[in-house]
Amino acid sequence: MTEWLLEGLTALMLLLGGGLMLIAAIGAVRLPDLPTRLHATTKAGALGAALTIAAVALHFACISVTARAAAVIVFIVLTAPVAAHLIGRAGYFVGVPLWEGTVKDELRDRYDPESHVLRSGLTKQAAESGGKQRGRDA
Amino acid sequence: MVEIATYLVFAMLSVALILALVRLIKGPMLPNRVVALELIASLVVGFIAAYSIHTGVDDFIDVAIVMALLAFMAAVGFARYLEKGGPRDD
């Protein structure tokens, strides 16, 4: 019974992982611009790889394999978002065009591509209110 | 049951690899190609996992570790290269 359950769970995790990675690849082909493609490949791809590795841990069910599989999963889950952020940031700075249906591009007025300076709305507000504060004090 | 599942996963990952290759060739710019490369790396990690179950050799997990590490380093390198500028021909 336990054998059967473990086998079923392993097969299920393998299939789920494979399906998620297939969805990630379909998203990478069909989605219209860089950030949306990153969204598909990072989330679905990382979860798919993690699930298949977890299936390996479940299949062999011994300490050494499980420890290495856990290391791979932790590594994937930690690095996938960082790598996606780096690529997305670099792509925006390089000037990769966004999809024409994009509704909101909050960086457009706040980022200076020459000097790589990013002004946040918060510091602007703080500077204005600080100026008022000083004016009132004087 | 696991046997059939590994075959199915091989098929799905092969289709996914072909789709990722389409994105790698089509581009349109270098960042999109980097996205495709990263996806291919994680697909290969999944492939290694399925292969390790299929053959019953657990040592392939180490290859998956190296593959994930390499993919991350490549992504960081590409992003740094793109941000710092330099001649680009995409």
Task: Tell me, yes or no, whether A120 and A54 share the same domain.
Answer: no
The CA distance from B73 to B76, in Å, is 5
Task: Tell me, yes or no, whether A66 and A118 share the same domain.
Answer: no
pLDDT of residue A123: 59
Band (pLDDT 50/70/90 cuts) for residue A18 is very high
Tell me which residue of A28, A131, A112, A89 sits closest to B21, measured CA to CA.
A28
Instruction: For residue A111, give the 3-state DSSP assignment.
Output: strand
Task: Tell me, yes or no, whether A112 and A75 share the same domain.
Answer: no
Average pLDDT over all residues of chain A: 83
Provide the number of structural domains found in chain B.
1
Tell me which residue of B23, B25, B39 sits closest to B75, measured CA to CA.
B39
Taking the model in full, what pTM does it have? 0.84
Task: Tell me, yes or no, whether A38 and A7 share the same domain.
Answer: yes
Residue A74 has pLDDT above 90, yes or no: yes
Distances from the Cα of A133 to the Cα of A99, A125, A130, angstroms: 42, 12, 5
The answer to whether residue B74 is domain-embedded is yes
| Beta strand segments in chain A, E | 111-112, 117-118
Number of Cβ within 10 Å of residue B64's Cβ equals: 27
Band (pLDDT 50/70/90 cuts) for residue A10 is very high
Q: How far is B37 from chain A (nearest CA, A)?
A: 10
Among B34, B61, B75, select the one facing A65 at the smallest CB separation: B61
Q: Tokens for A129, please give them.
A: 């209110």
Task: Tell me, yes or no, whether A63 and A99 share the same domain.
Answer: yes
pLDDT of residue A131: 46
Band (pLDDT 50/70/90 cuts) for residue A109 is confident
Provide the number of structural domains found in chain A.
2
Among A62, A75, A93, select the one facing B83 at the smallest CB separation: A93
Domain that holds residue A131: 106-138
pLDDT of residue A121: 66
The mean pLDDT value for A37-51 works out to: 92
Band (pLDDT 50/70/90 cuts) for residue B1 is confident
The mean pLDDT value for A60-73 works out to: 92
Tell me which residue of A74, A85, A73, A75 sits closest to B35, measured CA to CA.
A85
User: Which chain A residues have a beta carbon less than 8 Å from that of B4?
Assistant: 11
The answer to whether residue B90 is domain-embedded is no
Domain that holds residue B48: 2-84
Among A8, A28, A46, select the one facing B35 at the smallest CB separation: A28
Task: Tell me, yes or no, whether A99 and A113 share the same domain.
Answer: no
Task: Tell me, yes or no, whether A85 and A47 share the same domain.
Answer: yes
Residue A101 has pLDDT above 70, yes or no: yes
Task: Tell me, yes or no, whether A123 and A63 share the same domain.
Answer: no
Task: Tell me, yes or no, whether A80 and A133 share the same domain.
Answer: no
**Which amino acid is located at B86 in the chain?**
G
